[in-house]
A = this chain, B = another copy of it.
Amino acid sequence: MSKHAIFAWPARVYFQDTDAGGVVYHSNYVNFMERARTEWLRTFGYSNAGMMQELGVVFVVRSMKLDYLKPAILDDLLSVTAQVIAIGRSSITVVQTVLRGETLLTEAEVYLVCVDVKTFKPVRVPDVLRKQWD
């Protein structure tokens, strides 16, 4: 999968995702995005626990920029995407979107740092993952 490849994962909107404004509560898009990143990692053969045990690393969100363009509502079937746009020594930058059909609802740029599971110090992104995105 090249860095231009876009992974997509579905998310249905339930009552638990909405608020009294009748729309999806703004922090819940961040949850949808974690789900998509996890499932995307899984396509490379790694669960969260597996990556921690086998590679000794975990990705933590260091910063995040979110643009809320249009609201999602109850019962919507959303598509949540993830795409690497940059890889550093110990970081990756991922663009994520939330779409309803062709309509872009939310867009985010998520900067993740690869850290050692024991020391929480930044470490080099493992080659086994790096080669997926180069």
Contacts and interface: CB of A to CB of B under 8 A. Distances in A.
Oligomeric state, in number of copies?
4
A35 B63 contact: no
Contacts of A26: 30, 34, 61, 64
A25 interface: yes
Interface of A: 12, 14-16, 18-23, 25-28, 30-31, 34-35, 38-39, 47-50, 58, 60-68, 73-75
Nearest to A24: B20
Contacts of A30: 26-27, 30
Given A62-B68, A63-B66, A68-B60, A31 B48 contact: no
A25 B16 contact: yes
A49 B48 CA distance: 25
Contacts of A60: 21, 68
B14 A38 contact: yes
Contacts of A67: 62-63
A16 B66 CA distance: 18
A66 B68 contact: no
B31 A20 contact: no
A73 B20 contact: yes
Contacts of A31: 14, 16, 27
A75 B15 CA distance: 19
